């Protein structure tokens, strides 16, 4: 700040224009920087290791204490603490790269920078780095709420930049919020143009692999209890939007893995290999659909049976008709797919495939094996034997439950002949074992079944609790036939705890009586409607914004006549955007300069008039110094010069833009001076 004389002789304070020379410790700036850092780091505190989050909070509190007590930490101490933090990150993660280690390290260095900040440059650097760190929150959460929070955080950073470059600092916080909001709105058109036109990568820019997350979902091994444990999770596995008609819910089998090897307890993936494009089987297209697959940290992806053509690049079709990616699904994956009705009439099962799909362990579960051989001899036909086993399940006292009896040895014998209670993996495992014991090729298929329809977005939600296991049996002249032994259970023997799940499986257990509507059920229905509406919004956000990749970009650009190999048009569009934005900004600056030039010319005319009166005019002298010198050396001119110089100072140095009327008043007064 500096002082100048007013018309009434009172000395008034006026702002200095070079804010970079102002100290960072002036009132309110450091607390504002601490607040900005806390806002930026808060979403990350819930994902980073506890010691890193606690360290960043402790550093922010330490910086506040230093500010309040006017203390000073020696530079060597800050350097030692930063090196200790670097060593801690390396010892904890065994690396300083990757998502967790990289984000944790940069957050620690971010707060250390504030601890040693001294001047304007340090404060500006902290605020600009804040924009980068802000985006890292999308590495963990891409929801609408996170997007809204980051928008608010961006406002806080802009407020910090405006306050840092303002003489008044944080004074007038309401004005700071208004200016930052206006700045954000002004940048919005360019942001949108760049978002839609800038060449996209295959996936989101913030996608980074994580080695610490195991993921949730179907695993590559199925043992008793492996799938039933997923029933308690409502987490979304994927969403499906059909192009046109959708199949009945009870026919929605979302194929994931085929398990062909059995060790007496668990089923595992057998020998498999990818199929070349020219060797793809033939089939009749049935349903076209789009999938939003949530990250599950595994390589397989899901599709509606039957699967043929892979939906994306670097996705392969294997000889058991499953899809596999070259890399794990560590971020949300969007893909367009097509289901088929496969034609097996020209497909023969090779000897090694028959051996793979009929092999059983040499010992164990002998009673079930003998039962299967005996019963098959009575029937004598594979198709009839399938019907016989399904009828046996329906007529006998088999129960569908989440809490079956735990069997440690001869698990198939224990389930099929003794306990007769289990979840889908028990029935699928026993059914395939029985088919193989009878010499019929068969295998276990795992994935998801059914889905919840969302009428507000016209798509289906498949959750982890919809995880399911079924079987496939090879019949000569027909090929692989899907057989779901769980669907054969009589509805009266389904555990009450599974009643809610049956609603997503349509008419599997349609014989249940209607339940009386209660207040709690009404409340649940209301909450379900709210949840579905919110999920529809989240789905749109995921697909249209967070999932906006090069395929989507080319899709709508092709509608505008831009072909896939015409990247130069994107360059032209970006160049035009930059030129237009620059031209618009330049015209605005020129208009301001033109208005300011009239004032400057009037002031120069006033100085020339003073010079004619014998007052020396110095080019390096400001209006304040000129007024002081006139009072001392030429008091006879002081009274007339005060109002002219005061008006000029008000126009030239006030924070808000001067009005046209005040400028015209000054110009008139300057030219009228004599």
Provide the token pair at 238: 């994927």
Provide the token pair at 487: 């669907």
List, in sequence order, every residue forming a beta bridge with 479; answer none if it has no partner: 475
pLDDT of the residue at 28 = 82
Provide the token pair at 209: 């692999």
**Of 260, 322, 333, nearest to 297 (Cα)?**
333
Do β-strands 421-422 and 399-400 pair in parallel, antiparallel, or remain unpaired?
Answer: parallel
Question: Per the domain annotation, does 587 fall within a domain?
Answer: yes
Shared domain check, 228 and 158: no
How far apart CA 36 and CA 40 sit, in angstroms, is: 6
Question: Per the domain annotation, does 551 fall within a domain?
Answer: no
pLDDT of the residue at 409 = 86
Among 489, 505, 521, where does a domain finish? 505
Provide the token pair at 497: 């705890």
Q: List pLDDT tens digits, range 145-164.
A: 998 999 889 888 988 888 88
Maximum C-alpha span of the chain: 130
Q: Decide: 154 and 131 in contact? Cβ < 8 Å.
A: yes
More confident residue, 471 or 553: 471
Three-class DSSP labels, 172-209: CHHHHHHHHHHHHHHHHHHHHHHHHHCCCCCCCCCCCC
How far apart CA 339 and CA 252 sit, in angstroms, is: 11
- pLDDT above 70 for 619: no
Q: List pLDDT tens digits, range 235-265.
A: 999 999 999 899 999 999 999 999 999 998 9
Q: Residue 172 — pLDDT band, cuts 50, 70, 90?
A: low
- pLDDT above 90 for 584: no
pLDDT of the residue at 4 = 39
Q: What percentage of the chain carries pLDDT values higher than 90? A: 36
Shared domain check, 286 and 408: yes
Shared domain check, 491 and 602: no
Q: How far is CA 321 from CA 34, 43, 246, 307, in A?
A: 56, 41, 21, 6
Question: Per the domain annotation, does 197 fall within a domain?
Answer: no
Lowest mean pLDDT among 167-171, 342-346, 436-440: 167-171
Provide the token pair at 607: 């100085």
Shared domain check, 629 and 486: no
Q: Interior CA angle at 6 toward 5 and 9, to 5°?
A: 75
More confident residue, 568 or 292: 292
Q: Residue 209 — pLDDT band, cuts 50, 70, 90?
A: very low
- pLDDT above 70 for 505: no
pLDDT of the residue at 594 = 54
pLDDT of the residue at 604 = 83
Q: pTM for the complete prediction? A: 0.71
Overall domain count for the chain: 3
Q: Decide: 1 and 15 in contact? Cβ < 8 Å.
A: yes
How far apart CA 336 and CA 311 sit, in angstroms, is: 6
The backbone torsions φ and ψ at residue 452, rounded to the nearest 5 degrees and listed phi first, read -105, 125
Q: List pLDDT tens digits, range 631-642.
A: 888 888 888 888
pLDDT of the residue at 205 = 47
Q: What is the mean pLDDT of residues 219-231?
A: 88
pLDDT of the residue at 589 = 63
Shared domain check, 467 and 576: no
pLDDT of the residue at 648 = 82
Q: List pLDDT tens digits, range 303-326.
A: 998 888 888 778 999 988 999 998
Q: Decide: 599 and 663 in contact? Cβ < 8 Å.
A: yes
Among 455, 486, 505, where does a domain finish? 505
Question: What is the DSSP-derived secondary structure letter of residue 380?
Answer: -
Q: Residue 14 — pLDDT band, cuts 50, 70, 90?
A: very low
Provide the token pair at 367: 């009673």
How far apart CA 45 and CA 38 sit, in angstroms, is: 10
Tell me the pLDDT of the chain averaged across its residues.
82
pLDDT of the residue at 527 = 84
Question: Per the domain annotation, does 510 fall within a domain?
Answer: no
Shared domain check, 160 and 225: no
Shared domain check, 229 and 162: no
Q: Residue 202 — pLDDT band, cuts 50, 70, 90?
A: low
Q: Decide: 411 and 418 in contact? Cβ < 8 Å.
A: no
pLDDT of the residue at 593 = 53
Question: Per the domain annotation, does 173 fall within a domain?
Answer: no
Q: What is the mean pLDDT of residues 37-47?
A: 94
pLDDT of the residue at 306 = 87
Gyration radius (Cα) of the chain, Å:
37
Q: What is the mean pLDDT of residues 620-624?
A: 77
Question: Per the domain annotation, does 138 fall within a domain?
Answer: yes
pLDDT of the residue at 169 = 67
Q: Residue 446: count other Cβ atoms within 10 Å of its Cβ.
A: 28
Question: CB-side exposure of 24: number of CA atoms within 13 Å?
Answer: 24
Question: Per the domain annotation, does 520 fall within a domain?
Answer: no
* 199-221: burial string, b at 16+ Cβ within 10 Å, e else: ebeeebeebbebeeeeebbbbeb
Q: What is the mean pLDDT of residues 125-133?
A: 93
The backbone torsions φ and ψ at residue 261, rounded to the nearest 5 degrees and listed phi first, read -105, 135
Q: List pLDDT tens digits, range 425-483.
A: 999 999 999 999 999 999 999 999 999 999 999 999 999 999 999 999 999 888 899 99
Q: What is the mean pLDDT of residues 380-400?
A: 92
Is residue 36 classed exposed, middle or buried when 0-12, 13-18 and 19+ CB atoms within 10 A define those classes? buried
Shared domain check, 614 and 501: no
Shared domain check, 331 and 244: yes
- pLDDT above 70 for 17: no
Q: Interior CA angle at 604 toward 598 and 610, to 5°?
A: 140
pLDDT of the residue at 386 = 95
Among 451, 475, 505, where does a domain finish? 505
Q: Decide: 317 and 308 in contact? Cβ < 8 Å.
A: yes
* 556-586: burial string, b at 16+ Cβ within 10 Å, e else: ebeeeebeeeeeeebeebeeebeeeeeeeee
Shared domain check, 500 and 597: no
How far apart CA 359 and CA 262 sit, in angstroms, is: 8
pLDDT of the residue at 201 = 60
Residues 6+ apart with CB under 8 A from 405: 414, 418, 419, 421
Q: 631: domain range? A: 568-672
* 309-327: burial string, b at 16+ Cβ within 10 Å, e else: ebbeeebbbbebbbbbbee
Torsion, CA 237, CA 239, CA 245, CA 250, rounded to 10: 20
* 282-302: burial string, b at 16+ Cβ within 10 Å, e else: ebeeebebbbbbbbbbbebbb
Q: Residue 556 — pLDDT band, cuts 50, 70, 90?
A: low
- pLDDT above 60 for 114: yes
Q: What is the mean pLDDT of residues 540-568?
A: 70
More confident residue, 441 or 208: 441
Is residue 378 classed exposed, middle or buried when 0-12, 13-18 and 19+ CB atoms within 10 A define those classes? exposed
Shared domain check, 400 and 252: yes
Q: List pLDDT tens digits, range 256-299.
A: 999 999 998 999 998 888 888 767 778 889 999 999 999 898 99
- pLDDT above 60 for 541: yes
* 125-159: burial string, b at 16+ Cβ within 10 Å, e else: ebbebbeebbebbbbbebeeebeebbeebbbbbbb
Shared domain check, 612 and 499: no
Q: Residue 13 — pLDDT band, cuts 50, 70, 90?
A: very low
The backbone torsions φ and ψ at residue 259, rounded to the nearest 5 degrees and listed phi first, read -110, 120
- Note every long-range contact of 200-205, with CB atoms under 8 Å and residues 24 or more positions apart, other chains counting: 200/548, 200/549, 200/550, 200/552, 200/553, 201/549, 201/550, 202/313, 202/549, 202/550, 203/331, 203/549, 204/138, 204/142, 204/331, 204/546, 204/547, 204/549
């Amino acid at each position: 700040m500096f002082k100048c004389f007013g018309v009434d002789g009172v000395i008034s304070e006026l702002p200095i224009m070079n804010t970079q020379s102002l100290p960072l410790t002036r009132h309110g700036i450091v607390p504002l920087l601490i607040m900005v850092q806390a806002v930026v780091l808060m979403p990350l505190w819930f994902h980073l290791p506890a010691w890193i989050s606690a360290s960043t909070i402790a550093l922010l509190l330490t910086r506040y204490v230093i500010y309040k007590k006017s203390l000073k930490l020696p530079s060597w101490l800050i350097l030692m603490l930063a090196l200790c933090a670097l060593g801690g990150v390396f010892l904890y993660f065994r690396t300083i790269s990757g998502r967790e280690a990289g984000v944790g390290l940069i957050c620690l260095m971010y707060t250390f920078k504030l601890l040693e900040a001294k001047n304007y440059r340090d404060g500006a650097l902290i605020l600009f780095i804040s924009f980068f760190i802000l985006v890292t929150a999308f590495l963990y959460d891409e929801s609408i709420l996170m997007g809204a929070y980051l928008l608010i955080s961006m406002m806080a950073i802009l407020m910090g930049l405006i306050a840092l470059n303002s003489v008044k600092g944080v004074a007038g916080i309401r004005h700071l919020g208004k200016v930052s909001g206006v700045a954000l709105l002004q940048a919005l058109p360019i942001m949108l143009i760049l978002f839609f036109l800038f060449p996209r990568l295959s996936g989101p820019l913030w996608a980074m692999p994580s080695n610490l997350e195991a993921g949730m979902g179907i695993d590559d091994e199925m043992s008793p209890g492996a799938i039933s444990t997923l029933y308690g999770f409502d987490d979304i596995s994927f969403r499906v939007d059909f192009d046109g008609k959708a199949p009945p819910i009870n026919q929605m089998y979302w194929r994931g893995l085929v398990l062909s090897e059995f060790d007496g307890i668990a089923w595992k993936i057998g020998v498999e290999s990818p199929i070349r494009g020219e060797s793809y089987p033939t089939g009749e297209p049935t349903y076209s659909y789009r999938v939003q697959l949530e990250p599950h940290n595994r390589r397989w992806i899901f599709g509606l049976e039957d699967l043929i053509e892979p939906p994306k690049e670097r996705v392969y079709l294997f000889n058991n008709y499953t899809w596999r990616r070259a890399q794990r699904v560590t971020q949300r994956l969007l893909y367009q797919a097509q289901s088929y009705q496969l034609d097996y009439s020209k497909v023969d099962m090779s000897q090694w495939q028959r051996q793979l799909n009929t092999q059983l362990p040499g010992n164990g579960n002998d009673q079930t094996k003998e039962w299967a051989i005996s019963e098959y001899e009575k029937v004598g036909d594979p198709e009839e034997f399938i019907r016989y086993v399904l009828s046996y399940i329906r007529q006998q006292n088999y129960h569908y439950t989440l809490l079956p009896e735990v069997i440690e040895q001869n698990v198939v014998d224990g389930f099929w002949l003794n306990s007769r209670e289990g979840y889908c993996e028990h029935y699928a495992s026993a059914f395939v074992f029985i088919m193989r014991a009878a010499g019929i090729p068969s295998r276990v298929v795992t994935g998801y079944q059914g889905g919840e329809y969302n009428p507000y977005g016209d798509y289906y939600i498949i959750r982890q609790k919809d995880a399911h296991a079924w079987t496939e049996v090879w019949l000569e002249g027909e090929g692989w036939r899907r057989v779901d032994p769980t669907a054969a259970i009589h509805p009266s023997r389904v555990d009450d705890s599974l009643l809610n799940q049956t609603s997503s499986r349509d008419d599997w257990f349609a014989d249940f009586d209607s339940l009386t509507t209660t207040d709690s059920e009404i409340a649940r229905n209301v909450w379900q409607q709210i949840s579905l509406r919110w999920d529809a919004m989240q789905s749109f956000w995921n697909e249209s914004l967070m999932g906006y990749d090069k395929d989507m970009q080319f899709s709508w650009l092709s509608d505008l006549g831009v072909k896939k190999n015409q990247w130069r048009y994107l360059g032209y569009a970006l160049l035009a955007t930059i030129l237009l934005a620059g031209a618009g900004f330049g015209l605005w600056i020129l208009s301001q300069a033109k208005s300011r030039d009239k004032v400057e010319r009037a002031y120069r005319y006033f100085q020339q008039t003073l010079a004619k009166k014998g007052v020396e005019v110095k080019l390096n002298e400001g209006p304040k110094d000129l007024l002081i010198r006139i009072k001392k050396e030429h008091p006879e001119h002081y009274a007339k010069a005060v109002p002219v110089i005061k008006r000029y100072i008000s126009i030239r140095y006030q924070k808000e833009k001067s009005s046209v009327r005040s400028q015209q008043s000054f110009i008139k007064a300057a030219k009228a001076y004599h």
